[in-house]
Amino acid sequence: MAVPTHQSPVQSTPVGLFSLPVIVAALGYFVDIYDLLLFGIVRVPSLKDLGLDAEQISSVGTSIMNWQMGGLLIGGILWGVLGDKRGRLSVLFGSIITYSIANIACGFVKQVTFMDPVMYYALMRFIAGVGLAGELGAGITLVSEVLPTEKRAIGTSLVAGVGLSGAVVAYFTVKLFDWQTAFLVGGGLGVGLLLMRVGVVESGMFKDLSTQSHVSRGNFFAFFTNANRLGRYLKCIGIGLPTWFVIGILATFSNEFGKALGIAEEIQPGLAIMWCYVGLATGDLASGFISHALASRKRGVALLMSIALVFSLLYLYSGVSSATVLYALCLAAGFGIGYWAMFVTIGAEQFGTNLRATAATTVPNMVRGLVIPMTLTYQALKPSLATVNAGAVVGLISFILGFYSILTIPETHGKDLDYLEE
């Protein structure tokens, strides 16, 4: 049951699209994406430097990525609960300290002698994953609560559009310097962002809620004690599955798909990820305006998800014969999954103020965590179905769940967020 948090307005003055909370959330997501995608970009060269062969790079690289995604899963719950119990800003500060330290540590993996460097690498990516889990959900929650209702979709799209360009910067940082320096740059960006956040103020909705001691806040298990709430929560997760199929399977393992498709030129996964995120950033900037124009979150997401499905099918089964075309399809599919910000916004809007940060932070990280069964399924099916069909099976499951979820979840366009979950 939803009940209002109070009778008086939360904010006395309107907050604009280019206010400090929106700018800092956008820059925070920029650093988050830079650090999140960096391992995918440097997976091949970094593991080559550690002396692994091609087969080990595939298997060990998958394992390290799954360590990172496992960290995201655990961190999503940790930071989500803290966001509703201690405030949105506490998460924005705590998470960035965690992942900045971990990324700086990754810059020294080749110098490690006190333990197996590969195990050290995996452990640091796990810690980075825990830290990275808090950034997006807390930022989107804060922006959703401080912006007027009519500006929410555009504001969160601006956050994601700016943020997702972090993948492009990560790729060129690796190209200009080397993979170790790229990790150190990521850590340095995090420290700089930490200083910028000093002037950001807490959400008015959370401030009001924090004075109500009788209200249960940040109870993760509350999602599982009510059938309606559980259904909304699972559907929020389902909506995001196609996004990480495109990123975590098609782009990350693009070198394997390139070989399977008979492309003569060697495909660079880092470049595929970069083009995927160029499309994703463009789609995210567009998604807020699409949602605003259609007056519907659901129709906007369903439209973009359909675009992602079409280009994923073309990627797998159109007989791609050149690296250029493969990268172009990564770009196009990336645009299709450019509803990422809208998906996280839907997660925030589905739940009351006392569970909003928990939902907005755990939902995207549950999706990221589900990359683990995606990659394991893909690897398990490759021997029997071959690379392309193995990827297609994972994609089929992802898109079926994605379309079912977005078509059946309640609409949240124009919804007043000043209420509690009981």
pLDDT digits (tens, 9 = 90+) for 240-283: 999 999 999 999 899 999 999 999 899 998 899 889 988 988 88
Task: Tell me the per-residue pLDDT of 362-387, one tens digit each, with 9 for 90 and over.
Answer: 888 888 888 889 999 999 999 999 99
Tokens in use for 160? 């994601």
Mean pLDDT of 228-242: 93
Residue type, 255: N
| 351 membership: H or E segment, kind and range | none
Residue type, 183: F
Whole-number pLDDT of residue 250: 95
- Residue 118 confidence (pLDDT) above 60: yes
267 touches 273 (CB < 8 A): no
CATH numeric code, 15-196+223-417: 1.20.1250.20
- Residues 6 or more apart in contact with residue 250 via CB below 8 angstroms: 257, 272, 276, 312, 315, 316, 330, 333, 391, 395
Question: Whole-number mean pLDDT of the chain?
Answer: 83
156 touches 144 (CB < 8 A): yes
* Max avg pLDDT among 79-83, 203-207, 225-229, 230-234: 230-234
- Length of the chain in terms of residues written: 422
The crossing angle, in degrees rounded to 10, of helices 297-317 and 227-245 is: 40
- Per DSSP, the residues of 152-191 read HHHHHHHHHHHHHTHHHHHHHHHHHS-HHHHHHHHHHHHH
- Residue 209 confidence (pLDDT) above 60: no
DSSP-assigned letter for residue 4 = E
pLDDT band at 12 (very low <50, low <70, confident <90, very high): very low
- DSSP H helices, 165-268, are 166-176, 179-196, 204-210, 227-245, 254-260
- Residue 337 confidence (pLDDT) above 60: yes
- Residue 348 confidence (pLDDT) above 70: yes
Whole-number pLDDT of residue 251: 94
Whole-number pLDDT of residue 194: 77
Dist CA 150 CA 174 (whole Å): 40
Residues of the chain with pLDDT > 90, as a percent, come to 33
- Residues 6 or more apart in contact with residue 277 via CB below 8 angstroms: 33, 37, 164, 165, 166, 167, 168, 334
pLDDT band at 202 (very low <50, low <70, confident <90, very high): very low
* Max avg pLDDT among 193-197, 209-213, 299-303: 299-303
pTM of the model: 0.76
DSSP-assigned letter for residue 215 = S
Radius of gyration, alpha carbons of the chain: 20
* End-to-end Cα spacing for the chain: 5
* Max avg pLDDT among 3-17, 255-269, 336-350, 402-416: 255-269
Whole-number pLDDT of residue 230: 92
